[in-house]
Structure 1
Amino acid sequence: MAGKREKKREDPGAVWLNTMCRLLKGGALAVAVAALGLLVCALLVSGGVVGEKMMGRGVLAICVVSSLAGGLLAVRRLERGTLLAGLGVGGILFLLLLTAGFLIYEEASLSNGGVPILIACCCGGAIAGVLGGRPRKKRKR
């Protein structure tokens, strides 16, 4: 038994804290990408390049892309739970967008297009969770 190595176990609290920090970093990146994308979209609409009817689709696309970017950052080094981490980043992005809307318009209502935005954020995060996990190492026999 002296030849076998003991596997070091990490403290569950440290693993949990590390995962939460990754989620917050991913959420911050997602908000930054979303703000930049929405700014570009607003400039395109005000310049007349894109019609106002396309703005709704553009917002949904920006939500998917930004939660995908933040989710990929969050799940990059996780071994397990990548789908949940990606969904968490999508949820963080949605809550931050909802908070910004509440601060600007003094009203937060999901009936004004909030449900499609929630679905878009969660879909982008889920895609990141599926794509961003590291492949598992094959065991040697």
Structure 2
Amino acid sequence: MESPSILSHVSIGVADLGRSSAFYDAVLAVLGARRLIDEDGAVVYGRIFPEFGIGRPLDGGPPGVGNGMHFAFLARSRGEVDAFWRVGLEQGATEEGAPGLRPDYGPGYYACFLRDPDGHKIEAHVMDDATEEDTGAAEEAEAHPT
């Protein structure tokens, strides 16, 4: 199967694999992703093929958070973006931008931003043709810019 993506996969370091895998099990499930690889020290997620991995850093040092870096996950609907946000907060994430339209990113760009348990910035987004009135979330997004 040929992938439409230009990326093969991304892996990030985590301090507590059990805590982080429970977090990503929950938030990625709302996007239709699941664990595809679960080996000692690493868990890799995807819908069809392995795309996003978490694990203890191979050098044994503490994981670091990249300044200016974030990971965006494709949602299939605004409802999935909203669920990603809600479940993420329930799982201990901190908010970085509530679900809403981001017109600076393009028409119909609907997204939310969180910080995972290790502080990595993550996003769920969808591009669609719905309008601001369809969700009522635009004001909330403006109150929590990214």
Give the TM-score, by structure 2 length: 0.28
Relative contact order (C-alpha < 8 Å, sep 6+): which is higher? Answer: 1
Which structure: greater helix fraction? 1
Larger Rg: 1
